[in-house]
A = this chain, B = another copy of it.
């Protein structure tokens, strides 16, 4: 199946088969997709919590009971739930860690190349932190870039997925101890394989016509 077919066929799974688990190889592929997702100026302003145990998924599911009951079973019955988190800020320690990693990975042939990269990233970080004052929203957008990577990647691997915005971020942060780690849950994805109860597996996908959303000039 080519990637356009994957994009056409993947859909939002509404009910998961609790008996089917994602294989270790496929989980490794999902981790590779997440870790290698692109982000503005390679800022990687994120952390991904993969809840595979019944206990971990249960802690997330418990937060959904009152206000988002329709999402509870998805989280309980999925094989794994990825909680995509943004960092609280792009602090100097994080930026230094990225620069050191780029150095260690061999991206800087000269000290000038390293300085240029530090300056370029610093310009965009300062732009969002100080001028546009939208650092959190900027980081959130990068998290959704990773979300897009994860959803298409899961589709290519034949893994069903349900992206979930319907949860209390404060409740999930508390349930997983995220705030203490300087993280903030932004969106979740339940992953696994659909069950017979998944009505959406039998419904056609719907999108606005191409001419309504695409203009070629």
**A residues neighboring B (CB under 8 Å):** 2-4, 7-8, 10, 12, 28-29, 31-38, 40, 42, 44, 46-53, 56, 97-98, 101-102, 104-107, 124, 137, 140-153, 156-157, 163, 165-166, 176, 187, 203-210, 212-217
Instruction: Contact check, A107 vs B204: say whether CB atoms are below 8 A apart.
Output: yes
Partner of A144, one of B101, B142, B156, B163: B142
Instruction: Contact check, B217 vs A176: say whether CB atoms are below 8 A apart.
Output: yes
Instruction: Contact check, A2 vs B31: say whether CB atoms are below 8 A apart.
Output: no
Shortest distance from the beta carbon of A55 to any chain B beta carbon, whole Å: 8
Partner of A47, one of B40, B144, B215: B215
Shortest distance from the beta carbon of A101 to any chain B beta carbon, whole Å: 6
When chains A and B are docked, how far (Å) is the Cα of A156 from the Cα of B152? 11
Shortest distance from the beta carbon of A156 to any chain B beta carbon, whole Å: 4
CB neighbours (8 Å) of A98 from chain B are 206, 208
Instruction: Contact check, A48 vs B213: say whether CB atoms are below 8 A apart.
Output: yes
A33-B3, A153-B4, A215-B49 as given contacts; A124 in contact with B208, CB under 8 Å = no
When chains A and B are docked, how far (Å) is the Cα of A2 from the Cα of B156? 8
Partner of A33, one of B7, B97, B176, B204: B7
When chains A and B are docked, how far (Å) is the Cα of A102 from the Cα of B203? 10
Instruction: Contact check, B53 vs A217: say whether CB atoms are below 8 A apart.
Output: yes
11 example contacts (A-B, Cβ-Cβ < 8 A) are as follows A3-B33, A4-B28, A7-B32, A8-B32, A33-B152, A46-B213, A47-B215, A50-B216, A53-B217, A101-B209, A137-B137
The 10 closest A-B pairs by CB, nearest first: A148-B148, A3-B156, A105-B206, A4-B29, A144-B144, A4-B32, A56-B217, A7-B36, A141-B144, A145-B148
Instruction: Contact check, B153 vs A215: say whether CB atoms are below 8 A apart.
Output: no
